[in-house]
Amino acid sequence: MAVKVKTSGKIVMILLVLGAIFAAKVYWWDKRPQEAKQSQEIGKVALPDAPEASLAGSATMMPLPSEEQSVNGGTKIVWKIMAWNSQFPLMYANGGAQTTKGSLLDKAKLQVDVQRQDDCFKSLADIVKFAQDYKNNPETPGVFASFMGDGMPAFFASLAKELEPLGPEYQPIAFYAMGKSYGEDQLMGPVDWKKDPKSALGKTVSCVLRDGDMNILLKWAGDNNLRVNPDETTYDKDAINIIAANDFLDACNKYITGYQEKRKLIKDGKKVSEEITVGVDAVSTWTPGDVNIAKQKGGLVTIASTKQYSSQMPNITITIKKFAYDHRTDIENLIMSLSQAGDQVRSFTDAKAFAAKISAKVYNEQDAAYWLKYYNGVTEKDVQGLNVALGGSMAFNLQDAANMFGLGKDGIDRYKIVYTTFGDILSKMYPEYMATYPPYAQVVDKSFLMSVIANHSELMEGKALAVTYSNEITSEVSSKSYQIQFETGSAVIKPASYRLLDEILESSVVAEGLKVGVYGHTDNVGDPQSNQRLSEDRANSVKSYLISKGLATERIESKGMGQNTPIAPNTTPAGRAQNRRVQIVLGE
């Protein structure tokens, strides 16, 4: 007779069996000799953790510098800088306001004292005094200063004149760029200006005269074919008018506080006795000025910025030629240190946070979190509820510096274009202040950077900054038409128009963050289908020219618009001539 086992008994038996199997596995099976997989050498894995990383693969984060001041007996340098986030590489490389133990500049045997100086003219005066002292005593500590690259023609013009009595050896030179503004310098204006740039005519912009931020206004106005009134004492309803500020924070405060002033009117090109009271409609400034506007008053959005005009404002470092040549090894070691620091800041969040901490100490303003936030750049709502972009800078590695000075693969000397573009604009607008300015080759000395690139290829492994362009422009920042001359009925460009094409190239290089739209237009003479093909061919000819000069193919969008979008009546020869044009659009 079969015996039935209760359910509880079955469970006990199952547990006993499983226990026996487990014991056999642990005490016999797992301990028996087995065929082992071959060991693999993994190596140290330390991947970059910052979104704009320039290092990759087995990149290693360097130990952060200590906070203990270094006394390495090396070359002494006093470095004057504005409160500007593009100097993160210097903050990281120095380890503090004074060089600290274990920092990159300590290892380079340099003793650097970083000092905040927002007044550019005081920095220039310090360089003049240094040059005078250095001529009398070669043991005098060096003095460096870092400025906005697009403002350098005016600074060099003034500085070169002051230093002329000392001789050519004591002229100023620029030798490196450690970073750039990447959004934080901007023209902030009413929303209407984005929709229709012509609505800016008759309005005012507060900014520092002949400064880098004013150049953003000039670039945007020029690209939209808008006039700018250079006289800050008059008012022209058919131009953008400038309200002079003492510094970038004063420019913002004038908007925030509702500042007003009286101006003489311009009528038919002449100043008359009649006056008008004007306020501040827009501002050109940088962080923390943009933050102050957003938090204290609001109402302004980004019209154009160095995120779009991304080659316009590199951080350019200058000193005296004699000191640089007397200390060539020091200058090259400095470049190496700053380029390594740029790689670290770009690639590792902790390195970036460390640079922010040092910035707060050097600037003696806000805290590390503040400078880190606005180095990265953010979009926030202002007090009126408008979305506004605030901050944004970028550190350079050696590849970026090479690209800025024409030593990269595309061969485009971006800084030469920036320097001459804004030098020409300012000398034309303000001949009484700057009738001329020193030639680029006289004030930019690439020999130190070239030597580092040639002798330290390992420092060129960092990935350069790159812009990802959309397939098609959906948002215009500027639009301007050019009367480019072609052979009759063909797409062959006449040599007389090469200068115009170079102007388009230069404008595009400065605005490296934007896609370039090349749109061909014809008049209505002839067959519409033939006009469509001709407009396409002519747009492609302009595109080919720009590519031949170094612009990336994916950056340029070319279209033929045929006779469909005239800007003047086709009933007169003058009107038809206006309609035969190439329209250049910079957009995103």
Question: What length does the chain have?
Answer: 588
Section 3-31 average pLDDT: 47
Q: Which fold has domain 75-180+311-382+393-460?
A: D-Maltodextrin-Binding Protein; domain 2 (3.40.190)
pLDDT of residue 433: 85
Lookup: tokens for 465? 């900054």
Section 441-466 average pLDDT: 95
Taking a C-beta distance cutoff of 8 angstroms, is the pair 449, 401 a contact?
Answer: yes
Q: Where are the alpha helices (DSSP H) in 137-190?
A: 152-163
DSSP strand E in 405-560: where?
A: 476-482, 515-521, 556-560
CA–CA separation, 94 and 454 (whole Å): 25
Comparing C-alpha atoms, which of 397, 561, 420, 383 is closest to residue 502? 420
Taking a C-beta distance cutoff of 8 angstroms, is the pair 105, 334 a contact?
Answer: yes
What single DSSP character describes residue 179? E
| Residue 1's pLDDT band (cuts 50, 70, 90) | very low
Residue with tokens 């800078």: 393
Mean pLDDT across the chain, nearest whole number? 91
Section 23-30 average pLDDT: 48
Range of lowest pLDDT (7-11, 145-149, 317-321, 477-481): 7-11
State the span(s) of the chain assigned CATH 3.40.190.10.
75-180+311-382+393-460
What single DSSP character describes residue 462? S
pLDDT of residue 573: 93
Amino acid identity at 496: A
Q: Using H for helix, E for strand and C for coil, what is the string for 380-430?
A: EECCCCCEEEECCEEECCHHHHHHHCCCCCCCCCHHHHHHHHHHHHHHHHC
pLDDT of residue 19: 55
pLDDT of residue 52: 83
| Residue 14's pLDDT band (cuts 50, 70, 90) | very low
Residue with tokens 């350079």: 396
Domain range 186-305, CATH architecture: 3-Layer(aba) Sandwich (3.40)
Q: Where are the alpha helices (DSSP H) in 170-281?
A: 191-195, 212-223, 248-256
DSSP H or E stretch at residue 180: strand 172-181
Q: Reply yes or no on whether the pLDDT at 385 is more than 60.
A: yes
The contacts of residue 565 (CB under 8 Å, 6+ apart) are 521
**Cα–chain center distance at 131:** 30
Q: Reply yes or no on whether the pLDDT at 43 is more than 50.
A: no
CA–CA separation, 281 and 243 (whole Å): 10
pLDDT of residue 59: 80
Section 277-300 average pLDDT: 96
**Cα–chain center distance at 331:** 23
* Cα 228 to Cα 202, 212, 215, 243, 284, distances in angstroms: 10, 16, 11, 12, 14
Taking a C-beta distance cutoff of 8 angstroms, is the pair 252, 280 a contact?
Answer: no
| Residue 6's pLDDT band (cuts 50, 70, 90) | very low
DSSP H or E stretch at residue 147: strand 142-148
The tens digit of pLDDT for each residue in 200-228 reads 999 999 999 888 889 999 999 999 999 99
Whether domain 476-587 has CATH 3.30.1330.60: yes
pLDDT of residue 47: 57
Comparing C-alpha atoms, which of 219, 288, 217 is closest to residue 247? 288
Comparing C-alpha atoms, which of 364, 368, 343 is closest to residue 355? 368
Taking a C-beta distance cutoff of 8 angstroms, is the pair 306, 219 a contact?
Answer: no
Sheet of 314-320, strands arranged across: 110-116, 75-81, 142-148, 314-320, 172-181, 393-395
pLDDT of residue 45: 38
The tens digit of pLDDT for each residue in 213-270 reads 899 999 999 999 999 999 999 999 999 999 999 988 999 999 999 999 999 999 888 8
Q: Burial of 104 by CB count in 10 Å (0-12 exposed, 13-18 middle, 19+ buried)?
A: buried
Comparing C-alpha atoms, which of 460, 178, 181, 180 is closest to residue 334? 178
* Cα 175 to Cα 92, 384, 440, 455, 475, distances in angstroms: 20, 44, 12, 17, 37
State the span(s) of the chain assigned CATH 3.30.1330.60.
476-587
